[in-house]
Amino acid sequence: MRVEVWSDVVCPWCYVGKRRLETALERFPHRDQVEVVWRSFQLDPTVPEGETHPTLPALAAKYGVPAEQMRENMRGLEELAAAEGLEYHLADGISGNTLLAHELLHLAAEHGNEKRNELKERLLHAYFEEQRSVFDVDSLVPLAVEVGLDEAEVREALADRRYRHAVIEDSATAVELGARGVPFFVVDRKYGAAGAQPAEQLLQILERAWADANPLITVPAAEGCEDGTCAV
């Protein structure tokens, strides 16, 4: 059974969703027969590459609320993430274009799906728990090397942009499947779940997908990120 997850490396709900999926898989008796594949989805591909900006004031302006109110909203999401074992520092975050990070994940996949999964976790951890940039080559290379990728290969792939089209294809497929935001979970291209669903809900989807082969069924959406930003 294959579980595909469309997400962005700067989506706070995506990291929460990842942990909840992992919890569901721990409880799923057929875990050893499940392949998890991370797909690319950019929250805001219109951000110019190479530019970054503080996240908090941008979100406050987006939703038309004072910065302190947005900071308080972020604290609420930080507490929710802490319940999943994650230590967020959202008010200190920066935002930027994640295209290179997604291209890097496709390069990692060339070395096996497990390598892509390992890099996905490393990028999320670096951004949300270490407040590190994931928006440029020099920031991404050390993270890639940490999970065992070759520095020269990484720099060459990010320079010639060989995986750019693969990122675009992933995003197009998500839209075709009905995704409006992320995280977006699809099991065997038959069952869909939008947002950071509770582990119990994800487990039910896994169990149902294992039991039968009905057309794509989408459960009600949970919290997630869409339209270029993340509501917190």
Task: Check which CATH number belongs to the domain holding 66 and give it.
Answer: 3.40.30.10
Domain membership of residue 18 (yes or no) is: no
Q: Which residue has the higher pLDDT, 132 or 180?
A: 132
Q: What are phi and psi of 207, to 5 degrees?
A: -65, -40
What is the percentage of the chain residues whose pLDDT exceeds 70? 94
Element (H, E) at 19: helix 12-27
Domain membership of residue 43 (yes or no) is: yes
Q: Quick one: which of 67, 78, 8 has its CA closest to 43?
A: 8
Task: Give the pLDDT score at 214.
Answer: 46
Task: Give the pLDDT score at 217.
Answer: 54
Write out pLDDT tens, residues 157-189: 999 999 999 999 999 999 999 998 899 999 999
Domain membership of residue 181 (yes or no) is: yes
Domain membership of residue 60 (yes or no) is: yes
Contact 217, 34 (CB under 8 A): no
Write out pLDDT tens, residues 32-90: 999 999 999 999 999 999 999 999 999 999 999 999 999 999 999 999 999 999 999 99
Domain membership of residue 106 (yes or no) is: yes
CA-to-CA separations, 84 to 11, 93, 183, 218, in angstroms, rounded: 15, 19, 16, 24
Q: What are phi and psi of 189, to 5 degrees?
A: 55, 25
Torsion, Cα of 208, 211, 216, 218 (10° steps): -10
pLDDT bucket at 139, cuts 50 / 70 / 90: very high
Domain membership of residue 23 (yes or no) is: no
First to last CA, the chain: 33
Domain membership of residue 15 (yes or no) is: no
Q: What are phi and psi of 175, to 5 degrees?
A: -65, -40
Res. 16: pLDDT tops 90? yes
Does the bond joining 215 to the residue before it have cis omega, within 30 degrees of 0? no
What is the percentage of the chain residues whose pLDDT exceeds 90? 89
Domain membership of residue 29 (yes or no) is: no
Name the average pLDDT for the chain. Answer: 94
Q: How many domains, in total, are found in the chain?
A: 1
Domain that holds residue 188: 2-9+39-230
Res. 231: pLDDT tops 80? no
